[in-house]
Amino acid sequence: MTSNLATKLREGTKKAHTMAENVGFVKCFLKGVVEKTSYRKLVANFYFVYSAMEEEMERHKQHPIVSKIYFSELNRKASLEQDLYYYYGNNWREQIALSPAGEAYVQRIREVSATQPELLVSHSYTRYLGDLSGGQILKNIAQRAMNLSDNGGSAFYEFTDIADEKAFKNEYRQALDMMPVDDETADRIVEEANDAFGLNMKMFMELEGNLIKAIGQMLFNSLTRRRTRGSTEAGLATAD
Ligand code: HEM
């Protein structure tokens, strides 16, 4: 007996996926417009979000539904710690803080874990299947845009304990289908996955403002530098 949850999730979040792809920050990222200050804030938010999600998944790893997709090889907390060390340095822990959207995301994870742990499936699905799907492409974009070397700043995209990401995704989907869920529970899981997409979008939107400011600042600097150079050149010309 299959619950068809994998298909229900894919079909039921299609719209949310398209919307997430169209958030300015995500679109800029795909075009290679990535700026370190914004990106490291995202990594910091992810650190809190994945820490909460992985802690709560661990708490419920014997749960009849959650246990089906409890795969510790997906865990991202340690890789995010490596990236935070890269972006913030030794004392990264003292430097990072959750943004308001990140805070809302973490709170929701804690809340569902305490009241309806089966909805942790939605949070796991939204993040990990996304990470497994776009990982390599996003890693290449981040490396190129921020001039990262092979070893620093992109550990998040590396699933070192998963040999074949495509095969793993299929295994994950099969596990979703094997879950003992009735239609009502499946509907709630899809609904929560849509909410998880929304929480991600809010986190990206917060960064959009930072990115626009940073691009504006870079433009301003380059314009004023050119002006200063121009006026110095003009000054030299009149001195002649
Ligand atoms: C940067 C923009 C994005 C692109 C280009 C992108 C691209 C893709 C692609 C091509 C797949 C299909 C992979 C396959 O069929 O095996 C996919 C799947 C997925 N993506 Fe994204 N994605 C993006 C953003 C996101 C975001 C922001 C999230 C959630 C926070 C997300 C979550 C997912 C999930 C959950 C799946 C699995 C769908 C399923 O098969 O059930 N994606 N993505």
Q: What is the pLDDT of residues 16-38, one digit of tens each?
A: 999 999 999 999 999 999 889 99
Predicted pLDDT at 237:
32
Q: Cβ(111)–Cβ(62) under 8 Å?
A: no
The number of distinct structural domains making up the chain is 1
116 three-state secondary structure:
coil
Within 13-154, residue ranges assigned H as helices are 14-21, 24-30, 36-59, 77-88, 92-95, 100-115, 120-124, 130-145
228 domain residue, yes or no: no
Nearest CA, atom 23, ligand 1: 21
Burial-class residue 184 by CB neighbours within 10 Å (0-12, 13-18, 19+): exposed
225 domain residue, yes or no: no
218 domain residue, yes or no: no
Report the percentage of the chain scoring pLDDT > 90.
Answer: 80
Q: Cβ(71)–Cβ(30) under 8 Å?
A: no
19 lines ligand 1 (CB under 6 A): no
Predicted pLDDT at 218:
77
Pocket test for ligand 1, best of 14, 15, 17, 29 (most atoms within 8 A of CB): 17
Helices 5-12, 165-177: crossing angle, 10 deg rounding: 110
87 domain residue, yes or no: yes
CA 205, 207, 209, 212: dihedral to nearest 10 degrees?
-120
What is the C-alpha to C-alpha distance for residues 35 and 46, in angstroms, rounded to an integer? 17
42 domain residue, yes or no: yes
Q: What is the pLDDT of residues 185-234, one digit of tens each?
A: 999 999 999 999 999 999 999 998 777 777 777 788 888 887 766 554 43
214 domain residue, yes or no: no
Residue 17, CA atoms < 13 Å, CB-side half-sphere: 15
- Give the pTM: 0.89
**Res. 183: pLDDT tops 80:** yes
> Average pLDDT, stretch 135-150?
88
Predicted pLDDT at 136:
82
What's the mean pLDDT when you consider all of the chain? 91
Radius of gyration of the chain (CA): 21
> Average pLDDT, stretch 155-164?
95
AA letter at 35? E
Q: What is the pLDDT of residues 36-71, one digit of tens each?
A: 999 999 999 999 999 999 999 999 999 999 999 999
CB atoms within 10 A of CB 227: 10
CA 186 to ligand 1 centroid distance, Å: 20
Vertex 198, ends 192 and 202: CA angle to 5°? 145
CA 123 to ligand 1 centroid distance, Å: 14
What is the C-alpha to C-alpha distance for residues 160 and 164, in angstroms, rounded to an integer? 10
Domain hosting 199: range is 5-209
> Average pLDDT, stretch 129-134?
93
77 domain residue, yes or no: yes
CATH number of domain containing 49: 1.20.910.10
229 domain residue, yes or no: no
Q: What is the pLDDT of residues 68-121, one digit of tens each?
A: 999 999 999 999 999 999 999 999 999 999 999 999 999 999 999 999 999 999
Residue 109, CA atoms < 13 Å, CB-side half-sphere: 30
CB atoms within 10 A of CB 85: 16
**Res. 13: pLDDT tops 90:** yes
Q: Cβ(88)–Cβ(81) under 8 Å?
A: no
Predicted pLDDT at 79:
97
